[in-house]
Amino acid sequence: MFVYWTYTRPMADSDDVKIEASWKEALKEEWGQDYFKTLREFVKEEYQHAIIYPAPKNIFRAFELCPFDKVEVVILGQDPYHGPRQANGLCFAVSEGIPLPPSLQNIFKEIESDLGQKLVHRTGDLERWAKQGVLLLNATLTVSAHKAGSHQGKGWEEFTDAVIRKLSEERENLVFILWGNYAKSKGAHIDRTRHLVIESAHPSPFSASNGFFGSKPFSKTNEYLAGHNKKPIDWF
């Protein structure tokens, strides 16, 4: 079975982590950490003995599509979708041809309401955003089939905390979009004097009407980017 790391030797360095080159360098202090070695072995065992999402090649897809120095916006999710063929390595996104999950439907509704025009692309694969500098990052990058949150507490959270800290410390004038309490907890790692943090309720049908709809995160993001001489995101 193909796995996204090679397992021929202990992970003492970054050589066996298949991640985009700029991220490999930016996160080099993480590869040798005990938590990451433990995480690596856990993920290996899970893929060998269970159905795990996303496909191994897509574990680090968010990083592949959005190199470290190209990030302008970070949208934080919780963990991948746990249904067949849904998770594709980008938070809130689904693969081409898969029905849109309710949260993504609500995100699209808010884009149209916020920006006052209809979406051109209604497909669920948000690669078009990632290629413009939107890092679509789940806090946990893998999940067992039909078991939401099953890979929480295994080390992914420490890894994605490190991602957020590194961006906060080494980049300037980024936008962090935090939907729901879980994402908001990650905000502790963000220097709000250097970056814009947008917080609201989660786009889930259970909470969207309690502060997500009408929060205007997409226009706020583009106004901030334009105000810092950066190119706005084409959300459509």
Peptide bond into 217 cis (omega under 30): no
DSSP 50: S
Strand segments, DSSP code E, in 50-130 are 52-53, 73-77
Q: What's 17's DSSP letter? A: B
Q: Which element (helix H / strand E) includes 110?
A: helix 102-115
102-115 vs 217-227: helix crossing angle, rounded to 10: 60
The three state secondary structure string of 20-48 is CHHHHHHCHHHHCCHHHHHHHHHHHHHHH
Catalytic residue among 34, 79, 191, 234: 79
Q: Is 114 a catalytic residue?
A: no
The Cα–Cα gap between 92 and 202 comes to 11
Contact 155, 92 (CB under 8 A): no
Q: Please give the structure tokens belonging to residue 43.
A: 């993920």
Within 8 A by CB and 6+ apart from 183, the residues are 76, 77, 78, 139, 199, 202
The catalytic residues are: 79
